Amino acid sequence: MTASAPLATSAREFPPIVSLMLNIGHGVDHMFLLIFATAVASIATEFNSNWADLMPYSAGAFLLFGIGALPAGRLGDLWGRRNMMVIFFFGMGVSALLVALTQNSWQLAAALMLMGTFASIYHPVGIPMLVQNVHNPGEVIGINGLAGNLGIAVAAVLTGLLIKWAGWRAAFAVPALIAFACGIVFALNCPRETVAPAKRGGKAKVELSSATLARVFFVMTATAVTSSILFNFTTNGNSQLLSESFRGVIEDPALLGALLALIYTIASFAQIVVGKLIDRMAFKPLQLWLSVAQIPFLIVAAYAEAWGMFAALLGVMILVFGSIPFTDAMIVRYVDDRLRSRVAGMRLTVAFGISSLAVWMLGPLVKGIGFSALLWTMAGIAALKAAIVLLLPDESSPARSD
């Protein structure tokens, strides 16, 4: 049958509750993967270990988070994004319950890897689903990024509170119930797709020559790798970094979790600002200056203590989070919707697959060279990212090409 199919339900036609669930899904994705980073000290105590030695056991989750994005993106385009998102919500709930039931380090690693597999679904599927046919993708992605990073903030504060009052197992079990509830709401309210994304009509917002498009894909992937390394080093290490910095000043894990949540919450709003700017400015200068600005904040953080560290870390996270919308915005801008989940999946597989090494290396690096040297290393990575951004083609405001 070759008759052209009607356009499937777009994000603009979704009931508001569905768009809300897609944004909450981003929060769930990041929240669940970072519960371990906040709870690792408590888990290590029960498992007769220390946090630096236990941290590498979570690397498999982030590796699967990257590798799984490729098949997840393909299934999203060819089978349907709604179906994949239902699997995402219920899979996250099941895997979190399994983590809560683990009795040793290897069981923990296996359960976290399963969680990483389900978590890999969201970015190549949920974000393309959310931005289908929208005219302001930067703003939509910025709001979605805010939701994702608020999930990181919730992980910090909720995990701290649950550990204090009910133990680390509850820190996984309670969010599992939240994921199940979200999955039920999403499944009941999201219209079924009449046509898989790969079979729809459409075209990219901006058409480039093959050579320029190849260069954009290289920049997209390379900046995603460096950004993901910085993201993983910070979000997985900030809890312990803040604890060391405030030693002798603040020792309460719940209060430290609240401070970290405050940093993440404030920093998350940078994505809305950047998202709006993306819709109005060329990518290259905006992304370049955000990358360059990370360098001095990381260097200051290498020497700061207590409240000085709080201020420096806030600056670092504003810039790390503010850089997140660029890659998804580039995909929306340069890639046809029929291919977006697959392109996003390929990009994420490379970026998150490589950056998962940051999670594996975090504990041994801090144990071997300390946080100060690690922060200097991150400043070097930020400088490399800025150099890569220079390879982007010069382009005026995206408004002219919509």
Task: Summarize pLDDT for 350-397 with one digit per residue, the tens.
Answer: 666 666 667 666 777 777 787 888 889 889 989 998 898 888 776 654
Average pLDDT value for residue range 21-42 = 87
In a domain, 160, yes or no: yes
Range with top average pLDDT, 83-87, 215-219, 338-342, 398-402: 83-87
- Confidence at residue 339, expressed as pLDDT on a 0 to 100 scale: 65
For residue 202, pLDDT over 70 is answered with no
Q: Which of 100-104, 180-184, 241-245 has the lowest mean pLDDT?
A: 241-245
For residue 173, pLDDT over 90 is answered with yes
- Confidence at residue 133, expressed as pLDDT on a 0 to 100 scale: 66
In a domain, 1, yes or no: no
Entry pTM = 0.68
In a domain, 190, yes or no: yes
Whether 9 contacts 191, CB under 8 Å: yes
The amino acid at 43: I
In a domain, 211, yes or no: yes
Nearest-angstrom CA–CA distance, 28 and 122: 9
- The tens digit of pLDDT for each residue in 89-131 reads 999 999 999 999 998 888 998 999 999 999 999 988 888 888 7
- Confidence at residue 159, expressed as pLDDT on a 0 to 100 scale: 84
End-to-end CA distance of the chain: 32
- Confidence at residue 179, expressed as pLDDT on a 0 to 100 scale: 94
- Helix ranges (H only) for 209-339 are 210-245, 253-268, 270-278, 283-301, 306-322, 325-334
* Confidence band of 399 (pLDDT split at 50, 70, 90): very low
Range with top average pLDDT, 118-122, 201-205, 302-306, 361-365: 118-122
Domain hosting residue 18, numbered range: 12-194+202-393
Cα-based distances in Å from 326 to 26, 276, 278, 333, 366 = 16, 11, 8, 10, 30
* Confidence band of 400 (pLDDT split at 50, 70, 90): very low
Q: Which of 100-109, 174-183, 233-242, 301-310 has the lowest mean pLDDT?
A: 233-242
- Confidence at residue 402, expressed as pLDDT on a 0 to 100 scale: 40
Number of domains in the chain: 1
Cα-based distances in Å from 29 to 214, 225, 301, 395 = 30, 19, 28, 33
In a domain, 7, yes or no: no
Whether 317 contacts 264, CB under 8 Å: yes
- Confidence at residue 338, expressed as pLDDT on a 0 to 100 scale: 64
Nearest-angstrom CA–CA distance, 75 and 61: 20
- The tens digit of pLDDT for each residue in 141-160 reads 888 888 887 887 787 778 88
In a domain, 330, yes or no: yes
- Confidence at residue 3, expressed as pLDDT on a 0 to 100 scale: 36
Percent of the chain with pLDDT over 90: 18
Quick one: CA dihedral 209, 285, 66, 364, positive or negative?
positive
CATH number at residue 221: 1.20.1250.20
Average pLDDT value for residue range 219-233 = 81
Quick one: CA dihedral 324, 325, 330, 335, positive or negative?
positive
In a domain, 398, yes or no: no
Which residues does 396 contact at the CB level (< 8 Å), separation at least 6?
A: 282
H/E stretch holding 165 reads helix 137-166
Which residue would you say has higher pLDDT here, 376 or 402?
376
Average pLDDT value for residue range 284-291 = 84
Whether 209 contacts 385, CB under 8 Å: no
In a domain, 79, yes or no: yes
Nearest-angstrom CA–CA distance, 67 and 122: 13
- The tens digit of pLDDT for each residue in 37-85 reads 778 888 888 887 777 777 778 878 878 887 888 888 878 777 778 889 9
- Helix ranges (H only) for 9-120 are 16-46, 51-54, 59-67, 69-78, 81-100, 105-119
